[in-house]
Amino acid sequence: MLSRGEIADRLSSYPAFEDTMLGLQYAPRMPKAMVKETREVVAIARKFNEEVARPSALVLDRRTHEDPDYLPWELVEEANRRGFYTMWIPKLFGGKGFNLPSMSSFSEEVGSVCLGIMNVIGVHYLGVAGLMTSYNTPLIRRVLSEVVQGEKTGKPCLIALAITEPGAGTDVEEMELLEKGKVTCHARRVKGGYIVNGRKIFISMGHVSTWTALYGYSDLKNPSETTVGMMVKLGMKGFSLGTHENKMGQRVCPASELIFEDCFVPDDQVIADAQSVRKCSKKPLKEINMRYMDYTMSATRAGVGAFGTGAARGAFEKALAFANETELHGKPLINHEWVQCMLAEMYKNVMLGRLAYMEANCANGLRGAYKLLQLKPMYYYQKYMPQAYFDRVVSPLLEKESSTWLMRKMAYDWHDLADDRCASGWASLAKFTGTDFGIRNCQMAIELMGQAGLRQDRGVEKILRDAKLVQIYEGTNQLNRLNLFKCLIAPAHPKAKIFAE
Ligand SMILES: Cc1cc2nc3c(=O)[nH]c(=O)nc-3n(C[C@H](O)[C@H](O)[C@H](O)COP(=O)(O)OP(=O)(O)OC[C@H]3O[C@@H](n4cnc5c(N)ncnc54)[C@H](O)[C@@H]3O)c2cc1C
């Protein structure tokens, strides 16, 4: 018979009770209006799919094969017209303030039709997340007000995020690996700002975004303690665009090379550096940088899990349509048992991918980056107070240094590390689950459809080409498995060495 203490011990080890059943724990605390709002978002996504994404997915893919330099300006303008680039920006910063988990549902919907088109919309929020989780409120306000203005004037203003370098991809996503990577993007401190030299590659929408959240290092031998986040704007002296990749999938969404040659970034465009975070927290800089990264990635990896689930669903829908319209041995394909088993398996993959990203979003709401925004009073206050109130009364307060100080104190010093781990581990779980299911369902759809599955006009081979990319970005699925081990398994196993050689 176990004692109470032993039972508690068992429950808090593996798999920790607190880290599971997040949806159940979150349900009573969740503002109920979020459900209705999410349905509204799904309806918006479906309308966009019917009017824009479905008719243009294959056309745009073909066009990028004929003209590899093609940039998706018309699509960006259409998304801007529909208000997609401000939908998930809080009203505090002039956006529409839709709840953040609803973006995953939107991503699954649009992703089920075309992942490339979804990334043309979605990667902007990677940039937004990178900026928001720095809690540099004056800079957030300044950049996001340009995004809002861009919607009003019909001149889209998007944000990209640049961390990947030619010699460091996986390594820049994890502080424990950063010293092993060959980072070369140098940010040298000078009077009034930083001078940046270096190159970033595979930056989604780099050619099309007005602003980029850029990460450099003031000491290349000690990058994890000297990371410098900066907002750079197209047209700044010393910042130029190189090529964009001729890649296998998501071709409509460019992956760009960014080049920095003696590019001066003034202090008021510095998102965060050692000096500024030191004013708010005495925690080791490496830990603060990891927490910052975790906040960003916990949100975006759950979203990429939804992208993968979208691909799984797209492949399932193609296979289902084919099974309905095709005959084999004198009876509809859909009436063959082996086909029914395959369709059931594919359906299960979609559902499990969806449950995983929803659970990850519950972790973000309960214990992670969305916690404050999704507290009932905060949520309803944001939802129902008029925009003019935010613009005139609250927003000016964000100019004060004390706003940044308070937000950073809450994020770095007053936030439990176990909560961060839960949100980060679940985001990784959702990411590799959804994206692996994306590939799995494409393989099954092609198997089921035979030669038809290989034909361009059927669209499944495109989903497969698109889906492969989501296993790689937002941290490869290997890295995300290691992050799950680090966050959800290792804490109960002190002997476990993480990211050991
Ligand atoms: C379409 C696309 C869009 C992208 N968009 C952006 C963007 O907007 N912004 C941005 O900054 N980056 C972006 N990236 C870059 C992306 O984040 C990196 O490709 C990714 O982090 C992997 O890095 P890498 O490709 O250099 O692979 P590498 O790091 O070279 O890894 C190669 C292989 O080794 C494995 N590996 C590496 N290190 C370890 C380890 N320690 N333990 C176990 N396995 C390991 C990896 O899992 C992988 O299988 C994009 C990439 C793609 C494909």
- In total, the chain counts a number of residues equal to 501
Superfamily of domain 11-158+286-492: Butyryl-CoA Dehydrogenase, subunit A, domain 3 (1.20.140.10)
Amino acid 20: pLDDT? 73
Q: Report the separation in Å between the CA atom of 242 and the middle of ligand 1, taken as the mean of its atom positions.
A: 19
DSSP summary character for residue 257: E
- What does the pLDDT read at residue 19? 72
- What residue's CA is closest to ligand 1, atom 18? 169
Q: Is 476 in the pocket of ligand 1 (CB under 6 A)?
A: yes
- To test ligand 1's pocket by mutation, which of 120, 170, 256 has the most ligand atoms within 8 angstroms of CB? 170
- C-beta 340 within 6 A of ligand 1: no
- What's the CA dihedral at 171, 175, 180, 186 to 10 degrees? 80
**Residue 500: its pLDDT value, please?**
77
Q: Can you tell me which residue has the tokens 């990896």?
A: 301
Within 13 A of 197's CA, how many CA atoms are on the CB side? 6
Pocket flag, ligand 1, residue 293 (CB < 6 Å): no
Residue nearest to atom 36 of ligand 1 (CA): 170
214 in contact with ligand 1, CB cutoff 6 A = no
Q: Which helix (H) or strand (E) element contains residue 331?
A: strand 331-332
DSSP E strand stretches across 205-246: 211-217, 227-233, 239-244
The DSSP code sequence of 59-92 is: HHHHHHHH-TT---HHHHHHHHHTTTTTTTS-GG
Residue nearest to atom 52 of ligand 1 (CA): 473
Q: Give the domain ranges of the chain.
A: 11-158+286-492, 159-280
pLDDT of the chain, 501 residues: tens digit per residue: 455 555 555 455 556 676 778 888 888 999 999 999 999 999 999 999 999 999 999 999 999 999 999 999 999 999 999 999 999 999 999 999 999 999 999 999 999 999 999 999 999 999 999 999 999 999 999 999 999 999 999 999 999 999 999 999 999 999 989 988 899 999 999 999 999 999 999 999 999 999 999 999 999 999 999 999 999 999 999 999 999 999 999 999 999 999 999 999 999 999 999 999 999 888 999 999 998 999 899 999 999 999 999 999 999 999 999 999 999 999 999 999 999 999 999 999 999 999 999 999 999 999 998 988 899 999 999 999 999 999 999 888 998 989 999 999 988 888 888 899 999 999 999 999 999 999 999 999 999 999 999 999 999 999 999 999 999 999 999 999 999 999 998 888 888 988 876
Mutating to test ligand 1, I would choose from 64, 202, 252, 258 the residue with most ligand atoms within 8 A of its C-beta, which is 202
Which residue lies with its CA nearest to atom 23 of ligand 1?
A: 169
Q: How far are the Cα atoms of 113, 312, 317 from residue 343, in angstroms, in the given order? A: 18, 11, 9
Ligand 1 pocket test target in 115, 125, 128, 164 with most atoms within 8 Å of CB: 164
C-alpha span between 55 and 251 (Å, rounded): 16
pLDDT at 413: 87
**Measured CA distances, 361 to 412, 417, 480 (Å):** 20, 18, 16
Distance (Å) from CA 461 to ligand 1 centroid: 23
Residue 457 has a pLDDT of 94
Q: Is 158 in the pocket of ligand 1 (CB under 6 A)?
A: no
Return d(Cα 315, Cα 434) in angstroms, integer.
13
Measured distance CA(45)–CA(190) in Å, rounded: 46
Query: What pLDDT does residue 395 have?
Result: 87
> Is residue 145 within 6 Å of ligand 1 at its C-beta?
no
* Burial state string for 278-302 with b = 16 or more CB within 10 A and e = fewer than 16: eebbeeebbebbbbbbbbbbbbbbb
Q: Which CATH number does the domain 159-280 belong to among 3.60.10.10, 3.30.450.40, 3.20.20.70, 2.40.110.10?
A: 2.40.110.10
